[in-house]
Structure 1
Amino acid sequence: MHPLHFLSLLLAFISLSAAQSTGDSFCSSLVCVSAVKTSSKVTYTLSRPSASQDSDPGFGWIAIGFGSAMANSPMVIAWPNSDNSITLSQRSASSRTQPTVTSSPSSVATLETAQSLVDSSNSTISFSFDDTSAAAAVSLIWAYSATNPSSSSASANLMQHRDAGTFSLDLSKALDGATPTSTGTATATSGPQSTQPSSSEPYTELQRVLIAHAAFGGLGTMIFIPLGVVIARLLRTFWPRWIVAHWVVHVVLSLPFIIIAFALGIRATNLTYGPEASHFFSDHRRMGLVLFLLLFLQVIFGSVIHWTPASHRSKGVFKGKSIQNLLHPLLGVAILAVGWATCWLGFDEWELFSGLGPVSRGVRIGWVVLLGIFALVYLGGLALLPRQFALKPDRQLRHQDSKEQYSLRERPSPPATS
């Protein structure tokens, strides 16, 4: 531990020892938590182990929560800021999602500035709660991220934790005026996969999953789905086999890519928060679910339309087109919009969960350019609607003629008469 950090901790415990202090401490490979109990309050101090600092300097943020699981445990999340100030954020979460700020916590954490220290290599943050109850054992959870929120706001977005676990402290242990040396009864369980790459590999498992998710999802939503829509809009008036190309793009490319992206998104959430976590807690994730379901529905809907004889469909309600034939393209445009929105919302989550920095401005510009290109092409294709409606009766007649000719060829010859 840095000498200045040790001195600040030592002064804190000496000043509290006169009040018949009791307390305990815990250290994992990433964080250290100590607690000192007096007759009026409990003071918690968060720091990084010196061994961890050698290979992974910095503080990022550290959180402790009062309970045995993340869900519904009151938390205090602390981090140093660039101006050497310290932010304490009291939050909670109903499941394994990013916790939100608790506006009126039952116990308010007070920053102990005299016992806290911020410097360029490490920080020690102390805070206290008013507590006049008898000292006893307390169950806690901890979490650590090496990525600082880069904001002093208590509601700042947090990069997902690198690791997490549970431990307990016995606040009835007597102190001898020095820093407690007990490690408590810690059971530091392994949390989500690290978002920081080790020296032996360029990316963590979570980062590899997110990169693949972005690749499959981006190609599916920004290239293949729009391509299938444009094929149906433009080529149907010029190429009788347009339906084959439309089918191949959506069934062979769009649908598998979206299925893979969806599965990778589920895997990323499991790596981040655990398999029991709620998966659809953000706009990006909810839109992804809607896209997944609508695309499946559209493929089924289109197949039913294609293989259902025209005579069995509903009667034409507009320009001779049945309700099914009207709804199918409208649903396609809706899927196109949902896909593009899902992709854009994913840009906002990339920095928060990948640890690889924000999405570059060039990628966002590329999104806008592609959107503009496909929009212009599709709107231009609407000018072909009169030609489409004019060709429709002629194609239906040719289709009926071919069916009759086929029927005549297959019809058995009458028996010969004597």
Structure 2
Amino acid sequence: MSHGSEHLPLTYYEVKARNHALLCTIGFLILLPLGALLPRIIRTFTQRWWIAHFVIQFLLAGPIIFAGWALGYQTANILYTGPRFSDPHEKIGLALIILYLVQLFLGLFIHFVKIPFFHGHRPPQNYFHAILGLAILALAAYQVHYGLTFEWAFATGNLHEVPKSAINAWEALVIIFWALYGLGLLLLPRQYSQEKQRRQQNKEG
């Protein structure tokens, strides 16, 4: 970066790239983690968590994620850093949007289609839904970090460097989510105990 360029305004392309990064960070590293923490933490205190989970994961996060992804695609076309989906950032971005859609449909299937063969036990797709959700969040964290530390400079020419505060914010978001999720796992014994009680009540009823 040339000396004094930090005082120059962002270029048109940098603004689009920055907005892409902001939207995807809000969607993938703030809203989706919030929606994942909600059932992990409060489901042992109330069974009325699904609507809030759906609103956050789809109605709030969805438009932001789709807008951020579309903006990234447009920016890549404008900057033309090579054929589309030829570099790691674009490939991971495509994978994330596909996995997000799969996760949405899987969540709707789990909620609305009840398979009777498990007799109140949690079916395999529920575990897969949880594991896939965590995998998406881990991949998204890597993707944002890659975008901040490599893709920005590669795509824009690094006239303006990514501020250290952006890296610090990324670190904080990742640490806070995984710490809170880890604490939420401590509620698993309580959750399993409640589910066992409900199965017994259903048998007796």
TM-score band, normalised by the shorter chain?
0.7 to 0.9
Q: CA deviation at 1:345?
A: 0.6
- Gap change, CA 1:396 and 1:245, over 3 Å in 2: farther
State the Cα distance separating 1:213 from its structure 2 match: 0.3
Query: What residue in structure 2 maps to residue 380 of structure 1?
Result: 183
Whose relative contact order is higher, 1 or 2, with alpha carbons under 8 Å and at least 6 apart?
Answer: 2
Quote the residue 1:228 is aligned against.
35
- 2:74 equivalent in structure 1: 267
2-structure distance, mates of 1:245, 1:397: 28
Give 1:287 deviation, angstroms. Answer: 1.3
223-232 or 265-274: bigger deviation: 265-274
Answer 1 or 2: which has greater helix percent: 2
SS of 1:278 mapped into structure 2: coil
Matches within 5 A, 1:181-260: 202-260=9-67
State which drifts further: 252-261 or 289-298. 252-261
Q: Residues 218 and 338 from structure 1, CA distance in 2 versus in 1: closer, same or farther, beyond 3 angstroms?
A: same
Higher normalized strand content (fraction of residues): 1
Letter in 1 for 2:18: I
Structure 2 alignment gaps of length 5 or more: none
Residues 37-56 of structure 1: matches in 2 within 5 Å? none
1:330 matches 2:135: no
Q: CA deviation at 1:229?
A: 1.0
- Per-residue deviation at 1:369? 1.8
**Any conservation in 2 of the 1:216–1:257 contact (CA below 8 Å)?**
yes
Change in CA separation of 1:397 and 1:245 when aligned onto 2, cut-off 3 Å: farther
Structure 1 Cα separation of the partners of residues 144 and 182 of structure 2: 22
- CA deviation vs aligned residue, 1:122-166 (integer Å, no higher than 9, x gap): xxxxxxxxxxxxxxxxxxxxxxxxx77xxxxxxxxxxxxxxxxxx
Query: How does the TM-score come out when normalised to structure 2?
Result: 0.86
| CA distances 1:64-88 after superposition (whole Å, capped 9, x unpaired) | xxxxxxxxxxxxxxxxxxxxxxxxx
What does residue 279 of structure 1 align with? Answer: 84
Shift, 1:263, TM fit = 0.6
Q: Is the 8 A contact 1:255 1:296 kept in 2?
A: no
2: distance between equivalents of 1:358 and 1:398? 60
Q: Which has the larger radius of gyration?
A: 1
Superposed, 1:167-186 pairs within 5 Å as none
Find the aligned partners of 1:240 and 1:399 in 2 and give their Cα distance: 16
Could you tell me which residue of structure 2 aligns to residue 298 of structure 1? 103
The answer on 1:352 being equivalent to 2:159 is: no
What do residues 263-320 of structure 1 show as CA deviations (whole Å, max 9, x unaligned)?
Answer: 111101111129xx52222222211111111000000000001001241xx537xx92
Please give the root-mean-square deviation of Cα atoms over the aligned residues, in Å: 2.8
| Percentage identity across paired residues of the two chains | 32
Instruction: Give the conservation status (yes or no) of the 8 Å contact 1:291–1:335.
Output: yes
Distance in 1 between the 2:10 and 2:186 partners? 49
Q: Distance in 1 between matches of 2:118 and 2:180?
A: 30
Q: Distance in 2 between matches of 1:310 and 1:340?
A: 34
CA distance in 2, matches of 1:232, 1:342: 25
Give, as a single letter, the amino acid of the residue that structure 2 aligns with 1:284.
H
In 1, distance between residues paired with 2:137 and 2:174? 10
Q: Does the 8 A contact of 2:10 with 2:160 survive in 1?
A: no
Per-residue displacement from partner, 1:213-234 (whole Å, max 9, x unpaired)?
0110111121011111111211
TM-aligned CA deviation for residue 362 of structure 1 = 2.1
Q: Secondary structure at the residue paired with 1:285? A: helix
Deviations 1:70-113 (A, max 9, x none): xxxxxxxxxxxxxxxxxxxxxxxxxxxxxxxxxxxxxxxxxxxx
1:414 corresponds to = none
Q: What count of residue pairs does the alignment treat as equivalent?
A: 200
CA–CA separation in structure 2 for the residues paired with 1:336 and 1:350 = 21
Match for 1:333: what amino acid? L
Report deviation, 1:329. Answer: 0.4
Alignment partner of 1:364 is 2:167? yes
Are the counterparts in 2 of residues 220 and 258 from structure 1 also a CA contact under 8 Å?
A: yes
Relative to 1, partners in 2 of residues 1:243 and 1:399: Cα closer, same or farther, differing over 3 Å? farther
Could you say if the C-alpha distance between residues 204 and 359 of structure 1 is closer, same or farther in structure 2, counting changes exceeding 3 Å? Answer: closer
- Determine the C-alpha separation between the residues in 1 that align with 2:62 and 2:203: 32
Instruction: Check if 1:289 corresponds to 2:94.
Output: yes
Post-superposition offset of 1:356: 4.2
Matched residue SS, 2:43: helix
Alpha-carbon separation, structure 1, partners of 2:198 and 2:75: 49
